[in-house]
């Protein structure tokens, strides 16, 4: 850093010119609600809370939003069991892996998503 940049970084109000993540309209969660769509502001707030609430499977176990996204990536229903998870993962890896599909590397990004989703779900409490 140049001497001027160091002096500017040490200034007491350095960094106050930008909006911090915690005070942004989305607050790192999702997009801000469109207030015009709601007659009561509390409906908008409760709607955001419901969207983040874990879903419940038929067996009573909770599934978080990240786990729901992983299930969608694998193409599995919410009530899939551990055996269905393993079978679907195996099928997708056989289909997408370049060693199994004749060297076609066009599916590598999808394969990476499938592997990450499986790694998340195999450790999830819903599949314990």
Q: In the predicted model, what is the mean pLDDT of residues 24-38?
A: 62
Residues 27, 31, 33, 36, Cα dihedral to 10°: 130
What are the structure tokens assigned to 124, written together?
């999830």
Which pLDDT score, from 0 to 100, does residue 16 have? 66
What DSSP assignment string belongs to 49-116?
HHHHSPEE-TTS-EE-HHHHHHHHHHT--TT--HHHHHHHHHHHHHHH-TTTTTT--TTHHHHHHHHH
Tell me the domains of the chain and their CATH numbers.
1-53 (no CATH), 56-128 (1.10.287.110)
**Tens digits of residue pLDDT in 7-23:** 888 877 776 666 555 55
Q: Which residues pair with 62 in a beta bridge?
A: 56
pLDDT in tens, 47-106: 766 666 677 887 878 888 889 899 999 999 988 999 999 999 999 999 988 888 777 788
């Amino acid at each position: 850093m140049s001497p001027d940049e160091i002096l500017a970084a040490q200034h007491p109000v350095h960094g106050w010119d930008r909006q911090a993540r915690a005070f942004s309209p989305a607050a790192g969660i999702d997009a801000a609600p469109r207030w015009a769509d709601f007659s009561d502001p509390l409906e908008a707030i409760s709607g955001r809370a419901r969207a983040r609430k874990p879903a419940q499977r038929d067996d009573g176990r909770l599934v978080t939003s990240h786990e729901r996204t992983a299930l969608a990536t694998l193409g599995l229903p919410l009530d899939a069991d551990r055996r269905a998870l393993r079978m679907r993962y195996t099928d997708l890896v056989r289909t997408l892996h370049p060693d199994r599909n004749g060297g076609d590397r066009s599916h590598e990004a999808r394969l990476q998503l499938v592997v990450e989703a499986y790694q998340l779900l195999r450790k999830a409490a819903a599949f314990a």
